[in-house]
Amino acid sequence: MALGFEASLGDSVVTTKLDAIVNWGRQYSLWPMVFGTACCAIEFMSAAASQHDISRWGAEVVRFSPRQADLMLVCGTVSYKQAPILKRIYEQMPEPKWVVAMGACASSGGIYDNYCTVQGIDTIIPVDVYISGCPPRPEAVLDALMKIQDQIKGESVLKDRHKDFKGILD
Amino acid sequence: MNATALEKIQAAFPEAAVSIALDTAVVAVRPEKLIETLTRLKNERDFKFSLLLDVTAIDYLEYPAVQEARFAIVYTLRNWQKNLLVQVRTPVHDPDAGVPSVTALWDSANWGEREVYDQYGINFIGHPDLRRILNHWQFKGHPLRRDYNIRQGQICYETDSLEKEIKARLATKGVSQSMMEDINTEIMFLNLGPSHPVTHGAIRILTALDGETIVANVNEIGYLHRGFEKTAESLTYNQVIPLTDRLNYCSALMNNIAYVKAVESWLGVEITERTKFMRVVLSEFFRIQDHLVCIAANLVDMGGLTNYWYLYNEKEASYDLISRLTGARLTSSFTRIGGMYRDFYEGWEADMDHHIKNIEKGVSDSLKLIAKNRIVHDRTQGVCIMPKEKALSYGYTGPCLRASGVPFDLRKDAPYYNYESFDFEVPVGTTGDLYDRLMIRFEEIFQSIRIIRQAMKAIPEGPIFVDNHAVALPPKSQVYGKIEGLANHFKLIFEGVKTPPGEWYDSFEAANGELGFHFVSDGSGKPYKVKVRPPCFYIMGGFHEMVEGAMIADTVINLGSINIIGGELDR
Ligand code: SF4
């Protein structure tokens, strides 16, 4: 995700300062794309509603178009039937992008250890933060958001992320 | 089922073996008599079974008692006027040859039979569109057969194009390939979903458009198929309860209650009065929650975000009570066979009072915004109509059926848990349009509040578990103090509650309609088979009838108005 001409500047003062300012911007304007499939999506609704208010972290601009979003929240069980769609949507999101697996199902298949359920979405797309719980409480979603923000802080505009990932559908 | 009805059925079908299981008359017929029997049950004046509730199959491969054939098919029918339930069953000797399809009699058979084909591999002769419905099209084998390994997942690389199906649907509307190639006719295909904000989950709505008007529509479901039925077969009866939370996750506790009620009825366990009242209070409270989410989301689809805050905030507040009571916000798992996990906590009455007052206020505020709102009226009245006859034929139940003018509600027509002694009304619509579906949910919220208030006044003190330790766990003092108590506890946990061998169907008026469970027991502590009769599944089966002829924007709010919940739809 090197931004362009600055890549040629290498690891200099210019780019480290640039990192700081770009990351600051990215951290507080994450636009989530909610890939809500099941029960966990209901808890995401609560995280977005007034009581927990996700906008305190600057992430309230929920986009349903992957092309306008940079944070994918997978809320719910992903079945094998769903898997190609998940992958397609992930690919439609422009870089840089981050992925949160919300709940036991998205993280590992959860209680559904069976013929139709993908045993964790990290077999299909790369995941940055996992949230445990079935379903996780809304606070846990906010916690994951903060973890992503922390992670962004340490990133560099010079390095590409996850280009080597190979999932079961690749 | 009363005795005269049973006699009538036996008299009408002398060659069939008629027996009774709970409230259901079970008619076992020869395969060649199947269509005749079902036709007569549907059409004859004495029977008039206008609702085909469910179709399912049973694989007897590992069943201890010897059966005539490996597979059997069961049709569950209901006469809603007289409250009669009948199940017609027939052996299937050769699944590849199969049995004749009943799609000509009931439209609900279309999806019902497709599911049986998908899960059991039984063919239906004459079915117009027999293909997989829950599993993906690249799937090999039939997962609910006993010899299919539960862990054998199969990867899907591509989604089905559905081109053939939509073209076939277009042809029924008089639009053929040659006509489409005509320069003057441009049919455009548009997918809504599987991942799209309107779908509130994952459903694929494929439409063929003329301008903005929908000419033909085909829907694909199964994106949230999580193998409920297969998983339940390897769990004890009590272990299945957490799975039921995840059917209709907007009203998890209602599913818990419906499930244990079905098991208890077969066991012949009479739960305590207090438990009955607890279940009534909690079902109605969750019915309210379900309707709140449905209406809130529906109004957002319509463009009224303010309503969302009025309604959703009350739901969010109710979580205080729910989590205080059950320990969880969403997935409650609060019932046990023979009782409830815990009694109400001290001071719950005040909390409940407070919440229902706020809900009343929130709902009234929201109603003020829409009741006389011209935009809402124009967008909903006379739009996406589901006529009464069609609704019955597609197997509609619950608010969607009542919106079409059929006053059928299990709480009134086949009351359980003392519902007959509560004073409440069942709102019924007139035309079956979007407006009716929306307003019925509003009214049901007020009626549920009425029931809760009455139940709170009348709830007696007493135990919440039955005093029967073949079903309920013994008190801890006995478990730790006596060897019998310990053995009892151990057996119940490890082996599960033993049910007598047999098959039965039991139903419950859930927020979306009739939630039924068809069980097959082999006498052990684990169900040999559980089939859920999900209200959503059949409602979605008739979706195309409502939206063909309507606009895209209507489709969006129509999907919201029928309250499709993926967990229940695809199980
Ligand atoms: S983790 Fe639990 S709550 Fe979340 S989608 Fe899975 S089953 Fe539902």
- Whether B510 contacts B491, CB under 8 Å: no
Q: Which residues contact B45 (CB under 8 A, 6 or more apart)?
A: none
How far apart, in Å, do the first and last CA atoms of chain A sit? Answer: 21
Q: Residue B352: which of B225, B451, B233, B229 has the closest Cα?
A: B451
- Non-local CB neighbours of B459 within 8 Å, separated by 6+ positions: B274, B277, B278, B281
Pure H helices in B459-561: 476-481, 483-495, 535-541, 543-547, 552-561
Q: Is a pLDDT exceeding 80 seen at residue B150?
A: yes
- Amino acid symbol at A53: D
pLDDT at B445: 92
Rounded to whole angstroms, the Cα distance separating B555 from B203 reads: 13
Q: Is domain B162-223+534-571 annotated with CATH 3.30.390?
A: yes
Whole-prediction pTM: 0.88
Ranges of beta strands (E only) in B318-366 are 335-336, 339-340
Q: List pLDDT tens digits, range B41-61.
A: 888 777 888 888 899 999 888
Residue partners of B359: CB distance under 8 A and separation at least 6: B288, B292, B314, B318, B445, B449
**CATH 3.30.460.80 describes domain B3-125:** yes
Nearest CA to ligand 1 atom 5: A76
User: With contacts defined as CB-CB under 8 Å, which chain B residues touch A49?
Assistant: 309, 312-313, 316
Residues in chain A: 170
Q: CA–CA separation, B118 vs B57, rounded Å? A: 11
C-beta separation of B497 from B337 below 8 A? yes
pLDDT at A162 exceeding the cut of 70: no
The finding on whether A77 has its CB within 6 A of some atom of ligand 1 is yes
Can you tell me the ipTM of this complex? 0.83
Check residue B280 and give its pLDDT.
92
Long-range contacts of B163-166 (CB under 8 A, 24+ apart): B165/B129, B165/B206, B165/B218, B166/B206, B166/B208, B166/B216, B166/B218
Q: In a mutational test of the pocket of ligand 1, which residue from A43, A46, A134, A137 has the highest number of ligand atoms less than 8 Å from its CB?
A: A134
H/E stretch holding B521 reads strand B513-521
CA distance A3 to A64: 25
Q: Using one digit for the tens of pLDDT, what is the confidence trace for A79-129? A: 898 888 888 888 888 888 889 999 999 999 888 888 888 988 989 898 989
Q: What average pLDDT does range B328-348 have in this prediction?
A: 86
Taking only residues 43 to 72 of chain A, the set having a beta carbon closer than 8 angstroms to any beta carbon of chain B reads 43, 45-46, 49-51, 64
Domains and CATH numbers, chain A: 18-153 (3.40.50.12280)
User: What was the pLDDT predicted at B185?
Assistant: 65
Question: What are the residue ranges spanned by the domains of chain B?
Answer: 3-125, 162-223+534-571, 248-466
Q: What are phi and psi of B388, to 5 degrees?
A: -55, -50
Q: Give the pLDDT band of residue A1 (cuts 50, 70, 90).
A: very low
Q: How many CB pairs under 8 A join A and B?
A: 126
Residue A125 touches chain B, beta carbons under 8 Å = no
How far A19 CA lies from chain B's nearest CA (Å)? 34
C-alpha span between B190 and B202 (Å, rounded): 16
B525-547 average pLDDT score: 89
Chain B CB contacts of A76 below 8 Å: 224
Nearest CA in chain B to A50: B313
- Higher-confidence residue of B159 and B411: namely B411
pLDDT tens digits, residue range B281-307?
999 999 998 998 888 888 888 887 777
Nearest to A168, CA basis, from A94, A90, A108, A87: A87
Question: What confidence tens digit (pLDDT) does each residue in A67-80 have?
Answer: 888 889 898 899 89
State pLDDT tens for residues B88-113: 889 888 888 888 888 888 888 999 99
Q: Which residue has the tokens 């989530």?
A: A32
Q: What is the pLDDT at residue A56?
A: 84
Using the atom order of ligand 1, give the atom closest to the CA of residue A39.
Answer: 8
Residue A109 CB–ligand 1 contact under 6 Å:
no
The nearest CA of chain A is from the CA of B151 a distance in Å of 5
B99's enclosing H/E stretch is strand B99-100
Right CATH for B248-466 from 3.90.1300.10, 3.30.70.270, 1.10.645.10, 2.102.10.10: 1.10.645.10
CB contact under 8 A, B227 and A49: no
DSSP B472: S
pLDDT above 70 as % of chain B: 98
